[in-house]
A and B are shown apart, each in its own frame.
Chain A
């Protein structure tokens, strides 16, 4: 049976949506990095390490934090839960930040805390640590959110019994904008909403549900 999407979170244009409903917003004049920090404080989670993360990890971590409030985390230890994420820019802006710190011979001060975030799968690692997720994890780079690839890859993980639940999604950011769409997929269950099957069409719909 096709696995089912049991929760989804979308963060874009200074708004946080959970299962299609706006739960936090800030005016368009608010800097997007400040918005991410405000949205995180709004979750009520005390996690000082969040503020040390790079911009990509902050965004992905925030989206996962909002999403996982919908998930019974006590089940995670017993399950094989995975993380599959993707984006377009990998960690480009963080890479540039690090490059700037070593560009000049006179001011050659490479920052260790910036360097550790110059890989996109660090974001998956931060989420895994926070939510005790120890299953399969992967990070892919593609030009745009690709529901075909996500459904193909993740449904295959379920079919091959590699996972019984998966946090997945798209976490993209550049200097101008951010877009994080993360969702939770679980094994099909009669008691769940049948219309929420992890299919290309459903993912496309959910990704665009807050476009208006």
Chain B
């Protein structure tokens, strides 16, 4: 799980062009949107693409997004549960 969390942090920084942010700056339990990392709606779409591209996981129900993308940790848990690749 630790390795997956670290990998996810790096992938998110790269995919979302979070310049000047390092993996160490991201707390795995902080919220990704709003007060936490401050991501926006376009970033949310990029995260959906990232899940499909890097992990072969397609989110069937958009309503699940809020829970899945709450934090790096919830994303990692979701990936671990559903990973196909």
Q: Say whether A associates with B.
A: yes
Whether B29 is near chain A, meaning CB under 8 Å from some CB there, is: no
Nearest Cβ in chain A — how far from B36, in angstroms? 13
What are the residues of chain B within 8 A of A27 when measuring CB–CB?
Answer: none
Whether B12 is near chain A, meaning CB under 8 Å from some CB there, is: no
Whether A96 is near chain B, meaning CB under 8 Å from some CB there, is: no
Whether B19 is near chain A, meaning CB under 8 Å from some CB there, is: yes
A13-B77 Cα distance, complex, nearest whole Å: 48
Whether B17 is near chain A, meaning CB under 8 Å from some CB there, is: yes
Whether B68 is near chain A, meaning CB under 8 Å from some CB there, is: no
Q: Judge whether A48 and B49 touch: CB under 8 Å.
A: no
Whether B10 is near chain A, meaning CB under 8 Å from some CB there, is: no
Contacts between chains A and B (CB distance < 8 A), count:
30
What are the residues of chain A within 8 A of B18 when measuring CB–CB?
Answer: 48, 51
Whether A111 is near chain B, meaning CB under 8 Å from some CB there, is: yes
What are the residues of chain A within 8 A of B52 when measuring CB–CB?
Answer: 109
Q: List 24 A-B contacts (CB under 8 A).
A: A37-B19, A48-B19, A48-B38, A51-B17, A51-B18, A51-B19, A52-B16, A52-B17, A52-B42, A109-B49, A109-B52, A109-B53, A110-B49, A111-B46, A111-B49, A112-B42, A112-B46, A112-B49, A113-B16, A113-B17, A113-B42, A113-B43, A113-B45, A113-B46
Contacts beyond the supplied A112-B49, A113-B43: 7 A-B pairs with Cβ under 8 Å: A48-B18, A51-B18, A51-B19, A52-B42, A109-B49, A110-B49, A112-B46
